[in-house]
Amino acid sequence: MQRKLAVANWKMNGTIEKLQDIESLTKIHQQSQVGIVICPPATLIYQAVQITNNSNLQIGGQNCHYDTSGPYTGDISADMLNNLGARYVIIGHSERRNSYDEQNEDVYARATAAINCNLTVIVCVGETAKQKKQNITLDVVVTQLKECIPNIQDARQLVIAYEPVWAIGTGKIPTINQIHLVHSHMRKQLNKRFGSEIASQICLLYGGSVNPHNATDIFAIPDVDGALVGNSSLFSQDFSSIIVALESSKF
């Protein structure tokens, strides 16, 4: 059975008071049958983990370095995230790729470090607006899957988020058919690489302007196992509605 997952990416938002949102989500969704992951800024991870202990919410980081420790001012290692109690980490988000010039090989190295530290890695892939215009979405995604994803032994080590860059924070989303096409293609590629037993269990998220109004339609798409949510996850009622939509979607 594939695991359904709702992941909140808070990006560089939230100070101590915002931890209240996590506390209320643990109460509202204590019986939830889907996975719920909050990726707050690194400054809140330790307290977020304390709040979510004994709940079914888990905490993730938004990035990690490829090395375990060393002279990398400002960076955080996968080992450090694990030590704080984080269980997931987002790698290769387009904002990291754009602002810090992270290439596929960097994503691969960071994802490898994360897996080696027993974190579940959420690898982001997706085409830019220009690539979409050029009609090369599938080629871009296939190359990213090939170059960014390390070998895994267990489907629980890996989550893939298809996030068209042009859909992030813009209010625009691809058509249902486009999302379906990309997700079924990703599943096929994973089948080729890992075999059907593992590939069928890998959680494939859609990300890019998911909100309470479009979530139900997105979760009805075959091979969409959940969402990576940016903006809407900053409003706990909206994120909660997205979780409810996922809970109500067909397993």
Per CB under 6 A, residues contacting ligand PEP are 9, 163, 168-169, 207-210, 228-232
CB of 90 to ligand PEP, least distance (A): 8
CB of 99 to ligand PEP, least distance (A): 12
Burial class (CB in 10 A: 0-12, 13-18, 19+), 142: middle
CB of 95 to ligand PEP, least distance (A): 7
Catalytic residue among 95, 102, 127, 163: 163
Active site residue 197: no
Between 199 and 242, name the residue whose CB sits nearer to ligand PEP.
242
Between 150 and 230, name the residue whose CB sits nearer to ligand PEP.
230
Between 8 and 152, name the residue whose CB sits nearer to ligand PEP.
8
DSSP letter string, the chain: -PPPEEEEE--S---GGGHHHHHHHHHHTTT-SSEEEEE--GGGHHHHHHHHTTSSEEEEES--BSSSSSS-TT--BHHHHHHHT--EEEES-HHHHHHH---HHHHHHHHHHHHHTTPEEEEEE---HHHHHTT-HHHHHHHHHHHHPPP-SSGGGEEEEE--GGGTTTS----HHHHHHHHHHHHHHHHHHH-HHHHTTSEEEEESS--TTTHHHHHTSTT--EEEESGGGGSHHHHHHHHHHHHHS--
Between 115 and 161, name the residue whose CB sits nearer to ligand PEP.
161
CB of 234 to ligand PEP, least distance (A): 9
Between 149 and 242, name the residue whose CB sits nearer to ligand PEP.
242
Active site residue 183: no
Catalytic residue among 29, 65, 93, 183: 93
CB of 163 to ligand PEP, least distance (A): 6
Please list the active-site residues: 93, 163
